[in-house]
Amino acid sequence: MDLDFVCAFAARPASRLTRRDVARALLAVPSGVALVALPDLRRALMAAGNPLSPAFWDSAKATLGSIEAGVATVGDVQRWVESTGTEPILMTPSYFIWPEEDERGPVAAEMYARLVAHLEERVEAGEIDPDALAVGDPEARAAYEALQERWLATPLPDGRVPGQAVNEEHDEELLAGWDEEEAFALSELRRIVGALPGRPEPAAELEAAAGRLRALLALPGYPGSVLRACAGFDERPMPDDDRELWLEVAAGVAGPLSDLADGTEEPEEFADLDAGIGEEDAALANLCAIEYADWLAAVAALTRMGPGVLASPERLARLVAESEDIEAGEQDDEDLRATEGFFASVVALWGFLGIVDADEVLTPLGWWGLPEALERAWSPTAE
């Protein structure tokens, strides 16, 4: 590693290299190599008329030495790069978080580069003291953070607010990723179910379950409140057709359409900060935490095995972990417990729908209805 390497890495001549440029180049090679190169690199920059400062070189030696010794944390290294004075803070005090470098979209990459350029201007203007940052001065750090917070919240000449623009792009990418996962899960569900024998629709059981469901949905509190939120019935009327009603609620359990309605029956509970999360909120949170792949694995396994199979939360967690329909990866006891906890809310709601019986055993109605409900939940036309 030498000055030519740093210049090529930063795409700048030696006279314009910043502390950030040098720090990033040093981190791009093994720490031992970087430590050996430090003295020659310092002399070469001095000869090029860009000596940086003793505080920077001392901090570089200390950080690289900690890395080589295996005692530096990722946070230590990140904070050192930030102390160069032109590195954006990864997470600001207001919890704005920059995406990782290899995960930035065009907008995030543009805004990041704009902020780096802005910080370089502020260093040149004397508003940022990199040496104070290098020695860990708390006032300098606070001022550095405040300067970046202001920039992120200040509109650019074209009207875009940097922080908001980055967050919006991230949200769009997240939604696009979910859409892609959903479409793949739906295609896999259709492939799996299509290869199995037909499942008769249990008309009598469906009618009876729908009747019980209508009565339940008319009641306040759990579980009616959660089932209404799952199906979106707090925002639109319930269908008159029993089959449609049952399928919409069952589909909503796999993909809740809305949150709990405002003005619940006991609003004083929400004022008690020591009371913890309520049963309704916990149930919805668990439903939303289950990934597409886990739904696919659980429902595919139950559909293959048919009525009479145990569908307890513990069994479902095991079916997901052992599924050959998804890439579950290694599952330890903690992972199994988490999955079991999520599906505990599912199985409880399935009981009210008649998908499982009192012993948590899959019923003929559940065998027929689960794949139907899951397809409805994941189909683009299901709103």
Strand partners, 361: 310
Is the residue at 373 inside a domain? yes
pLDDT at 234: 83
Q: Last residue of some domain: 97, 130, 156? A: 156
Q: Side chain identity at 319, as an amino acid letter?
A: L
| Same-domain status, 307 and 372 | yes
Q: Last residue of some domain: 100, 132, 156? A: 156
Is the residue at 291 inside a domain? yes
Token pair recorded at residue 154 = 């200040």
Among 76, 7, 63, 73, residue whose Cα is nearest residue 34: 63
| Same-domain status, 367 and 231 | yes
| Same-domain status, 53 and 117 | yes
Distance between CA atoms of residues 353 and 206, nearest Å: 9
Token pair recorded at residue 304 = 């293959």
CA 227 vs. chain centroid, Å, equals 25
Is the residue at 383 inside a domain? no
In sequence order, the 6+-apart residues with CB closer than 8 A to the CB of 290 are 254, 342, 343, 346
Is the residue at 360 inside a domain? yes
Q: Last residue of some domain: 132, 156, 180? A: 156
pLDDT at 358: 96
| Same-domain status, 120 and 230 | no
| Same-domain status, 98 and 234 | no
Is the residue at 351 inside a domain? yes
Is the residue at 112 inside a domain? yes
Is the residue at 171 inside a domain? no
| Same-domain status, 211 and 110 | no
In the chain, the number of structural domains is 2
| Same-domain status, 145 and 204 | no
| Same-domain status, 215 and 330 | yes
Distance between CA atoms of residues 310 and 84, nearest Å: 59
In sequence order, the 6+-apart residues with CB closer than 8 A to the CB of 82 are 88, 89, 90, 133, 144
pLDDT at 271: 39
Give the range of the structural domain holding residue 96, as residue numbers without chain letter. 3-156
| Same-domain status, 137 and 234 | no
Neighbours of 265 (CB within 10 A): 8
pLDDT at 276: 52
| Same-domain status, 218 and 132 | no
Q: Side chain identity at 305, as an amino acid letter?
A: M
pLDDT at 258: 74
pLDDT per 10-residue tile (average), the chain, 383 residues: 93 95 96 94 95 95 94 93 94 90 92 96 94 94 95 95 94 85 92 92 96 94 92 89 96 85 46 58 91 94 96 95 81 87 95 96 97 92 48
Token pair recorded at residue 348 = 């409880």
| Same-domain status, 276 and 213 | yes
pLDDT at 274: 43
pLDDT at 257: 80
Distance between CA atoms of residues 207 and 210, nearest Å: 5
From residue 16, give the alpha-carbon distance in Å to each of 5, 6, 10, 12, 116: 14, 11, 10, 6, 14
| Same-domain status, 215 and 304 | yes
Is the residue at 163 inside a domain? no
